[in-house]
Amino acid sequence: MTYFPEEVVEHIFSFLPSHSDRNTVSLVCKVWYQIERLSRRAVFVGNCYAVRPEHVVLRFPNVRALTVKGKPHFADFNLVPPDWGGYAGPWIEAAARGCVGLEELRMKRMVVSDESLELLARSFPRFKVLVLISCEGFSTDGLAAIASHCKLLRELDLQENDVEDRGPRWLSCFPDSCTSLVSLNFACIKGEVNSGSLERLVARSPNLRSLRLNRSVSVDTLSKILVRTPNLQDLGTGNLTDEFQIESYFRLTNALEKCKMLRSLSGFWDASPVCVPFIYPLCHQLTGLNLSYTPTLDASDLTKMISRCAKLQRLWVLDCISDKGLQVVASSCKDLQELRVFPSDFYVAGYSAVTETGLVAISSGCPKLSSLLYFCHQMTNDALITISKNCPNFIRFRLCILEPKKPDAMTNQPLDEGFGAIVRESKGLRRLSISGLLTDKVFMYIGKYAKHLEMLSIAFAGDSDKGMMHVMNGCKNLRKLEIRDSPFGDVALLGNVANYETMRSLWMSSCNVTLKGCQVLASKMPMLNVEIMNELDGSSEMEENHGDLSNLSKVEKLYVYRTTAGARDDAPNFVKIL
Amino acid sequence: MEVAAASYVADVDNFKATELRLGLPGTEEEPQKTAVVPTPPSTPRGKKRDVSGPEDAAKKRDGEAAPLAAKVQMVGWPPVRSYRKSCFQQASSTKSKPAAPEETTTAAAGNGLFVKVSMDGAPYLRKIDLKMYKGYRELREALEAMFLCFSGGADAPDVNPSDFAVTYEDKDGDLMLVGDVPFDMFISTCKRLRIMKGSEARGLGSVKNN
């Protein structure tokens, strides 16, 4: 291969589909390393602190698409204190200096400021795609900068961000010359937008395929917009309350009927049951439906709609659908691949109309099911065993029984056997979240059978260090392990330290690991950052204590990740990096 | 007089002591933290009813045997994104909910939508029913009629309409200029009106002449 001219090698590399393949070829020899790095177009950074942004930019100066992820997953549930980190600024600044050809930026769980968005908007003349997921720290002023200056913008996709509302001005900042939009998602924007500006923007965006509106957009505006977008594939509605005239809804149906390409529907903010029948004409063509932000629709409304969606592949819904409703889903949606059932009651051990019955029904009606997120009131081993046999193709299986440590509802036994069946039957399982009453045995099963597992989430489970050690020893492909409120301590933490080099990260909170254990880990593995967070009294008290007592004190929160960047310099004072 | 007052207070105290209620003596009943077994959720949809059939009754009984601390809130549990939780809070504040702490002016259909109207410099406020008006022009005319007496008179003989701006406070507490959004949407988000005049309003009033 070294006799081939560089262009040929580069061309061959362009056929490599995945980041890991390209990473591998770059290790073969110096020549290949150079060719690979200069021709790399997409870089994925799973942990923003694993590598310095300057180094990424230096190595891949011609990158066009950059993806960076910040806070650990448990930050979604407020387990990571605010101001922990995950700042987008250094990444955008480094890219602005080192790769001005950047066209796409995707960020998840990062803190993005308006200044950074302004810098982004002004630094990359070919910028086309901005995707922000679960980010925070910016306002609609930052979006105004993006709209104003990114002349070639194709995608502005804002998913579930916490955005400060500074008025509707931002949407009007798209210049008249901006006609390139393919995807616009502002569902998470809390404030109002100017409907006239929105209509005009849609009217001059003939390539629009995906549009997700926010709560403020009325039915009338939606109808007017849909008339302009006959090629729309994905729609997030505005509000569908019953405060509108019936004529508005007739106009909406007429407009929807023209959207023959529409496959995916979401939004339904504040949806009134009255509005539901107006969506019926669309149902037969839908492959994706998200009703999970609509607590105003009950099981009967939901099932009337879903029973018409024979082609549905992806369904997100609230637990008010109830077991009976899930039976309807099971008999109507034979192609279902992904199901998410979210709780409508956020209390611990809150009420849920959904139990193991619903899931068993789904599994028997929808054998293609491969991705599941299921919040429920209770579960049984029998049900899980049945489910595992009905659906052997799970890639993602996330079960959340609302009451921690709840046993099998019929037998009062732990749910070890049930989850054991899932990992045994679904050999391709990559992501697993377990709940309910669980002993070390379930971890023995996981370590033994879940050979392709990449991400495991554990809460209130296990009896002893042995549990965690089963996982660390058995799951060779594990990338992310997150544990809360489980009795794993230093022995488990230090049981197989070499693993942490092959994993992206480990999170442990409210477990039994001590400061001493963490210090040992840090000293054994210099390529890891071992971050501990004790909110109660900060690190100062630990330093003042002289005796062994302080070392045996339990660490409230531990976050361990491999890194080439060394200890980060932006850590707040409640984070101690050992 | 004081003695009478004191004894009245004492009577009130005694009344409380003899009041019949559930709970151990000496404990105060806290509405939110009372140990309650799981019940069907109080979703924003006021008339939420139990959708389960008879065979689910057995399961609910199991549920009711759950520990008394059922209504506890624990950090990060259930594992639901804060974005989702905040959406639900927003949802419940738009629907009429009796338990809502903040003063909501959105009422169930048919009850009238009274909001306070203040005008800078006027000694008292007024209240109007937003549902009485079909559009912005009618609303503005009504406001002008209401507050003309404060702007006219010897102080300001020539009243310039462009010196007034009608603004409103929306659900999020932000001060917005009236007229940007469809009237129907405005009605559903408007919590109170404020007529600004003078230098703050100069030029703004002339923009919207609807």
Q: What is the pLDDT of residues B156-176, one digit of tens each?
A: 455 555 567 888 988 888 888
pLDDT at A516 over 50: yes
Please list, residue by residue across A131-140, b when 16 or more beta carbons sit within 10 angstroms of its beta carbon and e when fewer do.
bbbbbbbbbb
Residue A311 predicted with pLDDT over 80: yes
Give residue B112's pLDDT band: very low, low, confident or very high (50, 70, 90).
low
Instruction: Map residue A43 onto helix, strand or coil.
Output: strand
Contact B90 A190 (CB under 8 A): yes
Q: What percent of chain B has pLDDT over 70?
A: 40
Which has the minimum average pLDDT: A214-218, A242-246, A380-384? A242-246
Q: A297 and A273 in contact (C-beta within 8 Å)?
A: yes
CA-to-CA separations, A519 to A502, A523, B147, in angstroms, rounded: 20, 6, 72
Q: Are strands A162-164 and A183-185 parallel, antiparallel or unpaired?
A: unpaired
CA distances from A319 to A330, A376, B88 (A): 15, 8, 14
Lowest mean pLDDT among A1-5, A277-281, A355-359, A508-512: A1-5
Q: In whole angstroms, what is the distance from residue A118 CA to residue A143 CA?
A: 8
Does the pLDDT at position A550 exceed 80? Answer: no
Distance CA A43, CA A66 (A): 5
Provide the pLDDT confidence category of residue B16 given band limits of 50, 70 and 90. Answer: low
Tokens of A86: 């995950």
Q: What is the pLDDT of residue A90?
A: 97
CA distance A300 to chain B (A): 9
- Average pLDDT, stretch A66-90? 96
Instruction: Show the 3-state SS of A85-118.
Output: CCECHHHHHHHHHHCCCCCEEEEECCECCHHHHH
Phi and psi torsions of B199, nearest 5°: -65, -30
Q: How far is A526 from chain B (nearest CA, A)?
A: 31
Q: By the 8 A CB rule, do A345 and A377 touch?
A: no
Q: What is the rounded (10 degree) CA torsion for A115, A117, A122, A125?
A: 160
A376 to chain B: closest CA residue: B78
Mutate to test the interface with A, among B87, B171, B210 (most CBs of A within 10 A): B87
* A387, two tokens: 């489910």
Percent of chain A surpassing pLDDT 90: 84
Q: What is the mean predicted confidence (pLDDT) over B105-124?
A: 66
Whether A16 has a pLDDT exceeding 80, the answer reads: yes
Contact A162 B83 (CB under 8 A): yes
Is the per-residue pLDDT at B33 higher than 80? no
Count of CB pairs separated by less than 8 Å, A with B = 165
Helices A440-449/A416-425 angle, 10° precision: 10
Element of type H or E holding A359: helix A356-365
Q: Give the DSSP letter string of B138-178.
A: HHHHHHHHHHHHHH-SSS-SS--GGGEEEEEE-TTS-EEET
Q: Do B76 and A484 touch (CB under 8 A)?
A: yes
Cα–Cα–Cα angle for A310, A386, B52, rounded to 5 degrees: 65
B15 to chain A nearest CA, in Å?
Answer: 35
The answer to whether A220 contacts B182, with C-beta atoms less than 8 Å apart, is yes
Q: Which residue of A has its CA nearest to B39?
A: A351
CA distance A44 to chain B (A): 24
CB contact under 8 A, A377 and B59: yes
User: Using an 8 Å Cβ cutoff, are B78 and A400 in contact?
Assistant: yes
Closest partner residue to B41 among A162, A300, A344, by Cβ?
A: A344
Give A262-271 pLDDT, tens digit per residue: 999 999 998 9
pLDDT band at A146 (very low <50, low <70, confident <90, very high): very high
Does the CB of B169 have a partner CB in chain A at under 8 Å?
A: no
Strand residues in A469-527 grouped as ranges (E): 480-484, 505-509
For residue A433, the SS3 value is: strand
Query: Residue B38 above 80 pLDDT?
Result: no
- To test the contact with chain B by mutation, choose from A317, A351, A411 the residue with the greatest count of B C-beta atoms within 10 A, namely A351
Residue A420's nearest CA partner among A454, A397, A402 is A397
Contact B70 A349 (CB under 8 A): yes
pLDDT averaged over every residue in chain A: 93
What pLDDT shows up at residue B163? 66
Query: Tell me, what's the pLDDT at B140?
Result: 84
Q: End-to-end CA distance of chain B: give it in Å, rounded.
A: 61
Task: Read off the tokens for A204.
Answer: 């001059």
Q: Which of A71, A73, A74, A78 to mutate to test the interface with B (most CBs of B within 10 A)?
A: A78
pLDDT of residue A349: 66
Taking residues A211-218, what's their average pLDDT? 95
What pLDDT is stored for residue A557 in this prediction? 96
Residue B103 has pLDDT above 50, yes or no: no
Give the N- to C-terminal CA distance of chain A in Å, as an integer.
45
> In angstroms, what CA-CA distances link A308 with A304, A385, A439?
7, 30, 42
Contacts of B189 in chain A (CB under 8 A): 192, 216
Kindly give the pairing relationship between strand B164-169 and strand B175-177: antiparallel
pLDDT in tens, A388-443: 999 999 999 999 999 999 999 999 999 999 999 999 999 999 999 999 999 999 99
Structure tokens at B85: 């939780």
Residues of A in contact with B73 (CB under 8 A): 346-348
Please tell me the predicted confidence (pLDDT) of residue A529: 96
Cis preceding-peptide flag for B182 (omega within 30 of 0): no
Length of chain B equals 210
Contact B91 A295 (CB under 8 A): yes
B78/chain A closest Cα distance in angstroms: 6
Residue corresponding to tokens 């009062």: A412
Instruction: DSSP for B14-56, please give it.
Output: HHHHH---SS-TTPPPPTTTS-----S---SSTT------GGG
User: A221: part of which helix (H) or strand (E)?
Assistant: helix A219-228
**How far is the C-alpha of B179 from the C-alpha of B209, rounded, in Å?**
9
Q: Which site among A73, A133, A163, A346 would you substitute to test the B interface, given the most B Cβ atoms closer than 10 Å to its Cβ?
A: A346
Chain B 185-204, CB below 8 Å of chain A: which residues?
A: 185, 187-189
Give pLDDT, residue B66: 43
With a threshold of 0.90, tell me whether the complex ipTM lies above it: no
Which two three-digit tokens encode residue A319? 């637990």
Share of chain A above pLDDT 70, in %: 96
